[in-house]
């Protein structure tokens, strides 16, 4: 693999409210039938597989760095090793508190499946990690995916307005977390390969 280097501009998600920016178009949207969205990307990062796995697996700390996450409380751990976590996300007019089951396979896989949700028919987040460059153990290949469907078609259309910003900020937030915990990356930022992209 020949890495492609480029400069990441870090979005200021703390000050961003994309819903408000588009609220005037809220009631003039067309087709309200499709309520599902999906995104998957893969990229090379300058941190080790174990380092990135640990960040994704630390769901109890999500409220400290994940955009719009205002609650992340570990409820219990199951006999199989899964983690039950209560998560809260929100930016007006969308807000939700729900429970997720998080399965962990260190250092390769983190999967979160939401249940008890009033807003989502389903919400699935997955992280996959592989060793990166042979000559640099402080690199890894990361694949992030999110698949969800709203129960409300109107909410789905609103979410579609800022979908691009949300998925971009999600991965950037985890990279920033790695920088905070482990210092500068061992390689320059890489351009992601977008594998799946579907929005309302």
Total domain count, the chain: 1
- Residue 177 in any domain: the answer is yes
Q: Which domain holds residue 99?
A: 34-198
pLDDT at 173: 97
29-61 in b/e form (b: 16+ CB < 10 A) is beeeeebebbbbbbbbbbbbbebbbbbbbbbee
- Residue 18 in any domain: the answer is no
- Residue 19 in any domain: the answer is no
Q: What is the mean pLDDT of residues 4-19?
A: 41
Helix axis angle for 163-182 and 153-161, nearest 10°, is 60
Q: Supply the DSSP symbol for 100.
A: E
- Residue 171 in any domain: the answer is yes
Q: What CATH number corresponds to the domain at position 186?
A: 3.30.530.20
- Residue 133 in any domain: the answer is yes
- Residue 5 in any domain: the answer is no
- Residue 154 in any domain: the answer is yes
- Residue 25 in any domain: the answer is no
The Cα 7–Cα 99 span in angstroms is 36
pLDDT at 28: 43
pLDDT in tens, 108-123: 999 999 998 988 999 9
- pTM, two decimal places: 0.82
pLDDT in tens, 40-56: 999 999 999 999 999 99
Question: What tokens appear for 8 in the block?
Answer: 């990441």
Give the DSSP H/E element, type plus range, for residue 53. Answer: helix 49-57
Q: What is the mean pLDDT of residues 121-140?
A: 98
The Cα 200–Cα 149 span in angstroms is 10
């Amino acid at each position: 693999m020949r890495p492609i280097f480029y400069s990441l501009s870090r979005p200021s998600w703390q000050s961003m409210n994309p819903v408000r920016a588009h609220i005037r178009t809220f009631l003039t949207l067309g087709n309200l039938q499709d309520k599902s969205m999906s995104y998957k990307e893969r990229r090379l990062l300058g941190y080790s597989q174990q380092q990135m796995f640990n960040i994704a697996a630390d769901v109890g700390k999500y409220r400290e760095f994940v955009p719009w996450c205002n609650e992340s409380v570990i409820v219990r751990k199951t006999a199989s090793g899964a983690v039950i976590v209560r998560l809260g996300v929100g930016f007006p007019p969308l807000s939700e508190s729900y429970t997720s089951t998080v399965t962990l396979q260190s250092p390769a896989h983190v999967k979160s499946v939401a249940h008890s949700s009033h807003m989502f028919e389903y919400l699935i987040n997955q992280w996959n990690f592989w060793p990166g460059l042979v000559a640099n153990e402080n690199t890894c290949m990361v694949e992030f995916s999110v698949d969800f469907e709203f129960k409300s078609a109107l909410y789905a259309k609103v979410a579609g307005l800022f979908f691009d910003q949300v998925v971009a900020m999600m991965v950037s937030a985890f990279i920033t977390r790695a920088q905070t915990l482990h210092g500068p990356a061992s390689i320059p930022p890489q351009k992601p390969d977008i594998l799946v992209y579907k929005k309302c």
